Amino acid sequence: MINDIGLQGFCDNEYPSFEEWILNESIPFSVDSPGSFNITVKRLIGSLSPAVELLGLGEALHGGEEILLLRNRLFQQLVLKHGYSAIALESSFPRAHAVNEYIAGRGPASYDIIRETGFSHNFGRLAANRELVEWMRTYNADPSHSVKLRFYGFDSPTEMTGSDSPRQLLHFVLDYLASVDNIGCDDRRERINRLLGQDSAWENPAAMMDPAQSIGLSPAATALRIDVEDLITEMRIRRPELVAKAGDDAYQEAVQHASAARQLLTYHATLAKKLPNSERIMIGLGQRDAMMADNLAYTVSRERGRGKVFAFAHNSHLQRGPARWLLGKHALTWWPAGAQLKEILGPGYAVVGSAVGVSAENGIGKPEAGTLEALLTSVPGPVRFIPTFNGKGLPAIAALPVRSGSKKNPTYFALTSQSITDFDWLAVLDSTGYSRGGPVLPG
């Protein structure tokens, strides 16, 4: 069984079969039973290295209601009992600033005002996200809580098949500089706005599959990339002055927005390159995940000294091994954010992946016999945590079949043999519904 001094990738036992591993190591619990759930979370956290600064929870699909509720309850326990001060979601980095202002009591008076503007991917419409944000706002309003919670988005301002304009990122930086010292800011803003042009040109979804539709290598976009480089250089040169005038937190946030704008412009330039579609898209996906990792590393640095960070995103973004996606006839492989964080944070990063047995609402049937999901849901639930030990002490897993996918939700990915080394733990749910507030699924 797991000891209390840290899992750290080692298993004291040798298991002759997967059934023995699952039977001996799985920890069943229910989110609706606070007593057993809190004890289970304590065991999980106690197994991790004391060096962990960033704990990730992956979701097997977007929109799993019970996975979202597990996330909420887990974050609450991490805050109340384990020294966590922030959560970072797979949502737009620049948009999340509005949500953080709301939970701090400085922003709009109603969640409905930030529901669309504070999130990307329409995630603000999910009832579980509203519950999360409102809990954080209530927590921060309590004067007995000296460390106030923070909310971050760590996704780049992109989709799997599209991207945002750099305008929001750049305007954040320009507003910051104007608040500190307005000398020359009007001229710079006018020039940057002229180079930005129309947001619709940056956000053209056809650019993902046709480089001729992208403006990322246009003369204006190239000039804008140079201007952003100059902007970052100036901010670094003026760091002592800017920090003295507005504080280090505001400075770091502005620099990260400028850095994200530079990376987004590079992403747009990649979309404009005349490369085979599979290569161009794969580079873009890698750039998106590299931006995610950079944003999470920034989040950890911001919270260092205040508390630890809890991150939530799709399994495929947080896993330590290569990410894979079949886009039409293109089999794409790239390094996800989790693989980047493994190198950036080392033992400071730990991650829990999730899996689902069945979900009628998401078009996920009963797992086929012999698959990991079938084996993992054969022991008591309705949810269970199980340590992977990164495969040490476990039988060779490559021969296990992979279960069938979803007939409705294209974001669902089944567990594979790689999942054992991708994650430190697995959270396995018997079933999940579809999220309240989510878009209607096909079929």
pLDDT digits (tens, 9 = 90+) for 200-256: 999 999 998 899 999 999 999 999 999 999 999 999 999 999 999 999 999 999 999
Res 162 pLDDT > 80: no
CA-to-CA distance for 225 and 230, rounded, in angstroms? 9
Q: Quick one: DSSP state of residue 243?
A: H
Domain assignment present for 141: no
Main-chain dihedrals φ then ψ at residue 7, nearest 5 degrees: -65, -55
Please give the average per-residue pLDDT across 30-45, as a whole number.
95
> Which tokens is 378 given?
């054969």
Domain assignment present for 291: no
Res 2 pLDDT > 80: no
- pLDDT of 3: 39
CA-to-CA distance for 352 and 57, rounded, in angstroms? 5
Domain assignment present for 322: yes
Confidence of residue 5 (pLDDT cuts 50, 70, 90): very low
Domain assignment present for 150: no
Please give the average per-residue pLDDT across 401-424, as a whole number.
95
> Which tokens is 433 given?
């519904």
| Number of Cβ within a 10 Å radius of residue 285 | 22
Residues above pLDDT 90, as percent of the chain: 86
Confidence of residue 158 (pLDDT cuts 50, 70, 90): confident
CA-to-CA distance for 79 and 119, rounded, in angstroms? 22
Domain that holds residue 318: 1-83+307-443
Domain assignment present for 253: no
- pLDDT of 161: 67
**39: CATH:** 3.40.1660.10
Count of domains forming the chain: 1
Mean pLDDT over all residues of the chain? 94
| Number of Cβ within a 10 Å radius of residue 167 | 18
Domain assignment present for 382: yes
- pLDDT of 11: 60
Which range among 139-148, 268-277, 325-334 shows the weakest confidence by mean pLDDT?
A: 325-334
Confidence of residue 430 (pLDDT cuts 50, 70, 90): very high
Res 441 pLDDT > 70: yes
- pLDDT of 160: 64
Work out whether the CA dihedral 423, 131, 136, 78 comes out positive or negative. negative
Of 323, 316, 320, 315, the C-alpha closest to 282 is 323
Half-sphere exposure (CA, 13 Å, Cβ side) for 193?
9
Residues above pLDDT 70, as percent of the chain: 97
The answer to whether 87 and 151 have CB atoms below 8 angstroms apart is yes
Which range among 6-10, 135-139, 181-185, 358-362 shows the weakest confidence by mean pLDDT?
A: 6-10
The answer to whether 32 and 329 have CB atoms below 8 angstroms apart is no
| Residue found by looking up tokens 């923070």 in the block | 150
Which tens digits make up the pLDDT trace of 63-96?
999 999 999 999 999 999 999 999 999 999 999 9
- pLDDT of 4: 39
Work out whether the CA dihedral 133, 341, 425, 12 comes out positive or negative. negative
Res 422 pLDDT > 50: yes
- pLDDT of 239: 97
Domain assignment present for 356: yes
Domain assignment present for 165: no
> Which tokens is 285 given?
């996906």
Res 30 pLDDT > 80: yes
